[in-house]
Chain A
Amino acid sequence: MAVKHLKGLMAFAAMLMLALSCLAGLASAQGEYDPSVFTPNGVVYKFQGSFSLLMENTTVSPPFQELREGNFSLVISIFSRDQGGGYYAWSFSIYLENWYYNRPEELPEILTTVLETLGVQGVAVPPLVAVKWGTRETYFLIDFHQLKRTLQEAQPIGPESAGALASQVLAATGEVNEEVYFTNPFYIPINVGLGTELVYGVYNKTSGQQYEVYLIINDEAEVEAAGGTYAAWVVRLNAGDVADLLADLGADEDVVRAVRSTELEIDVYYDKASGWLLGYESHGHFTNTTVVERDGQLLEVNITSDVDLVLRLVKPGTVNIGGESLVERELGLPRETALALGALIMALAALWAFLRPER
């Protein structure tokens, strides 16, 4: 009898080992990242921007002054699905909450149409990129060669042909294009600290071309996002840093010089527990002089411009922000409760098994 039981136990242990080996694939590259970052669902960001551009010359009579200002507020949602082969396709929906520009007559008609469409019903973008599980490598779901052919054949004339063109573009999507990838800016590894270099880049595997920049985690902070306060890593950049990055990427010298002359501050916040992007803030201010034409005469004017862009996480969805899962956040129960509920259901099953009368 004891030998029979021993055999049974050994068989059970062997089966468990088999089950574990079947699942071994899951272990690959999971140590570095929170697994929830590869499959975000229901993640919502609010992207707000405002700008002002003042051109003036008070030394002439009458004084010259032109102000252009505007703002917008976009809601961006992220969903994902299993694409197969270790890839997870991401799709986005974009909804324009509001926008304002003090000189709407200057806007191109096509842009006004797009803005109104976004404001009325939003736009759901189909999955165009796919994340490779366990990495930040993000591939396009676009066959660029087919897309190029499609665009060469199509001759878009007006807004009415835009729909047909969009359909043709979508026909070139669907399969993971392993030729080109970029590093996903929405998450970073969790085994990082102050001074860690984060790489952001675009890579072409076929040609070997690559453009990459390294940003350093240079601060930590408590950040308010998605109705809570989370410990975050901060990547902070100023105008000099941005100019250096542009120079490294081979940007034009005038552009680099122009950026260096601005007052620019960029902060990027990543959740320490999950590595997920909590927010992005940038504030830019610059002054310059230029020449404009008034009544057929050239006039030198001063330009003062301010630009603010803020991206903030509103709903974390299925991403384990702060180390908390969606169910945990929704039910408001600690994780011990989940274990207790699992054990309770198993006990119910045991009762069902042993107390139910035999047929």
Chain B
Amino acid sequence: MGSIVVSLILGLAAGFFVLEIEPSWVGGTMGVSVLGLITAAITAGLASRGTVRGGISGGLAGLLLMPSKALVSVLLAFLEIGFQPLAWATLASLLTIIGIYPLAFAIAGAIIGGITGYLVSKINKWRTRRRVQYYYYYVPVIPQSS
């Protein structure tokens, strides 16, 4: 659970900053959205180190990426303009966190995060095997005295 939360936070942070890049660098606003999602999902998958954990954290990162971006922007805007009698406006703006293609982002994030988590776990297993082989190859076996 803790691993998923950390992965999610790292994924959202990485995706958030990538969503801020100049759209013309990646062929427009759609490119930015896709790159942000891929970055968030890969980061979450990397940190999770497992197929299932990567899928869950990548999916959540995909689901929450755009809403959290919108929420941070709204909060920044509030800080910028200061408190005003905005009861309805506040409610309205906070409701921005729903919607914006959530399912598509969640599915894509889960797939990318799951694959990344799977690859990381495979690489880690391979590295562990290699360390074990290295250990057995170089460390001399001390014969036990009978």
Contacts and interface: CB of A to CB of B under 8 A. Distances in A.
Given A121-B85, A315-B80, A26 B92 contact: no
A354 B123 contact: yes
A19 B46 contact: no
How many interface residues does chain A have, given as a range? Answer: 35 or more
B28 A31 contact: yes
B8 to A, nearest CB: 11
Given A26-B30, A345-B17, A352-B47, A124 B87 contact: yes
Classify the secondary structure of B's interface with A: helix
B115 A11 contact: yes
Contact of A352 (B6, B76, B77, B115): B6
Interface string B71-103: 011101110110011111110111110111100
B74 A318 contact: yes
B124 A353 contact: yes
Contact of B95 (A81, A93, A354): A81
A74 interface: no
B77 A317 contact: yes
A127 interface: yes
Contacts of A127: 88, 92
A327 B18 CA distance: 12
Contacts of A338: 17-18, 20-21
A314 B52 CA distance: 48
A116 B36 CA distance: 47
Interface stretch (A35-43, A209-217, A276-284): A35-43
Contacts of A343: 14
Given A30-B29, A338-B21, A342-B14, A79 B85 contact: no
Nearest to B127: A354
Interface stretch (A84-92, A180-188, A230-238): A84-92
